[in-house]
């Protein structure tokens, strides 16, 4: 144990003296989070809708007023030519043309929707909203109550912004990246420089060395994550609903998984270039598939089974549940089991694959 602690202590001493490392490990993730925070903060931009009012009567004015009251829309009434141009320029999502016979009479009045075919997808999304607005106006004018009124109640009982969804994912993502790099990159460097061989000359055992590095990296990781979390809470006003101790327990588990993964890769790679490539090979797919930026459920069906068993997916899920929904980790046993399986796999690979000496020439 004293050997393990001696290794851990000295690695921490090295870290504390390495100003460049400290700078990048702390400030890069915070900058990253700040940029994401700024990019996604604020209200959603309202959707620009143009209206050509050919009827110009009370009825059409009421309609325009109803539509304009919806915060989702920014309504712009103008001539058809001008509005057409704005659609082409991308300033408006669509233009609604109200016909002259838009008077609430019994005969149906045909409305025309002008859209940019290049943005047909967006227009398709908007159509039901426009139709709903029309329906509301129609009901109001005819004085009838909706047959099936729908009341929306938020089960979370609090607003959730995209940033609240994103931050736990970013936390887990950063954790993966610093852990894989922390073990993998360093181990290749130590081997290449002959430092591992220098240690191997002493009676130290691989398990003592690996444990020493893991302890040191976990300490560093906890500090980094604490900084990140502080940035998220104080700068981005992301509330942490769950238990902080449980959150850090998850962070330790996740970090151990990715440190072990890094060790294993570090034992296979001969050069820094090789470890970078290997690292990207392992981290990049998880970057996109693990539900960091958007939920796994929204991915193509083919990818979902793969995405849902990735180690980062389990970690993102668990951390998000704790931060956003305040769910205890003990209420997430299947996710914990997934993490445990990954920890067992990666730890075994790390210890079995560890080599003091050159990777086979």
Partner 1 sequence: MPIVDARNLVKRYPKPGKKREEFLAVDGVSLAIAQGEVFGILGPNGAGKTTTLEMIEGLSDIDSGEVFVDGIDVQKQPSRVKEIIGVQLQANEYFDHLTLSDLLRLFSQLFHRNNDPIVLLKRVELEEKAGAKPAQLSGGQKQRFSIASALINEPKILFLDEPTTGLDPQAKRKLWKLVEELNDAGMTIVLTTHNMEEAEYLCDRIAIMDHGKIIAAGTPQDLILQYAPEPPAAKLHGNLEDVFLHLTGHKLRE
- Contacting positions for partner 1 (CB under 8 A): 2-3, 6-7, 10-11, 13-14, 17-18, 190, 193-195, 197-205, 356-357, 360-361
- Beta carbon of residue 248, minimum distance to partner 1 (angstroms, whole number): 27
Distance, in Å, from the CA atom of 206 to the CA atom of 353, rounded to the nearest integer, reads 10
Q: State the nearest-atom distance from the C-beta of 176 to partner 1, in Å.
A: 25
Given the complex with partner 1, which of 10 and 41 has the nearer CB atom? Answer: 10
Least separation in angstroms between CB 322 and partner 1: 36
State the Cα–Cα distance between residues 346 and 176, nearest whole angstrom: 13
The nearer residue to partner 1, 111 or 204, going by C-beta atoms, is: 204
CB of 351: closest distance to partner 1 in angstroms?
A: 17
CB of 19 to partner 1, least distance (A): 10
**Residue (13 or 139) nearer to partner 1, CB:** 13
Task: For residue 261, give the nearest of 204, 193, 315 by alpha carbon.
Answer: 315
Residue number, 139 or 205, with CB nearest to partner 1: 205
- Residue 50 pairs with which residues in a beta bridge? 76, 95
Per-residue DSSP letters for 229-285? HHHHHHTS-----S-HHHHHHHHHHHHHHHHHHHHHHHHH--SHHHHHHHHHHHHHH
Tell me whether residue 90 or residue 194 sits nearer to partner 1 (CB atom).
194
Tell me whether residue 35 or residue 195 sits nearer to partner 1 (CB atom): 195
Strands of the 47-53 sheet, one edge to the other: 73-77, 47-53, 94-98, 112-115
- Please state the closest distance from residue 2 (CB atom) to partner 1, in A: 6
Cα–Cα distance for residue pair 198/188, rounded to 1 Å:
14
How far apart are CB 191 and partner 1 at their closest, in Å? 11
| DSSP string of 157-200, one letter each residue | SS---HHHHHHHHHHHHHHHHHHHIIIIIHHHHHHHHTHHHHHH
Tokens coding 63: 């309609």
Q: Between 271 and 325, name the residue whose CB sits nearer to partner 1.
A: 271
Nearer to partner 1, 182 or 311 (CB): 182
Nearer to partner 1, 237 or 352 (CB): 352
Burial 238-255 (b: 16+ CB within 10 A, else e): bebebeeebbbebbebbb
Question: Of 10, 86, 29, 356, which is closest to residue 205 (Cα–Cα)?
Answer: 356
Q: Are strands 94-98 and 112-115 parallel, antiparallel or unpaired?
A: antiparallel
Tokens standing for 27? 């400030």
Are 96 and 49 within 8 A, CB to CB?
A: yes
**Rounded CA gap, 30 and 229, in Å?**
9
Min. distance of Cβ 315 from partner 1 in angstroms? 30
Nearest distance, CB of residue 205 and partner 1, angstroms = 8
């Amino acid at each position: 144990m004293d050997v393990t602690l001696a290794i851990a202590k000295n690695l921490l001493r090295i870290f504390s003296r390495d100003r460049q490392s400290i700078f990048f490990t702390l400030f890069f993730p915070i900058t990253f989070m700040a940029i994401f925070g700024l990019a996604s903060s604020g209200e959603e931009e309202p959707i620009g809708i143009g209206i050509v009012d050919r009827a110009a009567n009370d009825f059409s004015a009421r309609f325009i007023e109803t539509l304009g009251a919806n915060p989702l829309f920014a309504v712009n009434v103008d001539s058809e030519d001008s509005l057409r141009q704005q659609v082409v320029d991308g300033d408006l999502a669509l233009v609604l043309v109200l016909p002259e016979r838009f008077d609430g009479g019994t005969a149906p009045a045909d409305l025309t929707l002008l859209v940019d075919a290049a943005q047909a997808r967006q227009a398709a999304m908007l159509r039901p909203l426009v139709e709903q607005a029309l329906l509301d106006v129609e009901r109001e004018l005819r004085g009838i109550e909706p047959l099936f009124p729908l009341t929306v109640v938020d089960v979370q009982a609090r607003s959730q912004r995209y940033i609240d969804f994103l931050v736990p994912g970013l936390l887990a993502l950063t954790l993966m990246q610093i852990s894989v790099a922390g073990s993998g990159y360093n181990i290749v460097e130590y081997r290449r420089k002959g430092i591992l061989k220098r240690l191997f000359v002493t009676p130290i055992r691989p398990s003592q060395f690996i444990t020493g590095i893991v302890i040191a990296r976990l300490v560093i990781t906890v500090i980094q994550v604490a900084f990140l979390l502080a940035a998220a809470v104080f700068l981005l006003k992301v509330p942490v609903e769950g238990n902080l101790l449980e959150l850090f327990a998850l962070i330790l588990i996740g970090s151990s998984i990715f440190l072990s993964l890094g060790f294993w890769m570090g034992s296979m790679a001969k050069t820094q270039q090789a470890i970078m490539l290997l690292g990207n090979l392992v981290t990049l797919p998880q970057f996109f598939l693990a539900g960091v930026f958007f939920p796994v459920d929204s991915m193509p069906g083919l990818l979902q089974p793969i995405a849902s068993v990735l180690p980062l997916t389990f970690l993102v899920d668990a951390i998000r549940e704790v931060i956003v929904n305040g769910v205890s980790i003990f209420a997430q046993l299947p996710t914990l089991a997934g993490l445990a399986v990954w920890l067992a796999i990666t730890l075994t690979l790390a210890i079995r694959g560890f080599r003091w000496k050159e990777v086979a020439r």
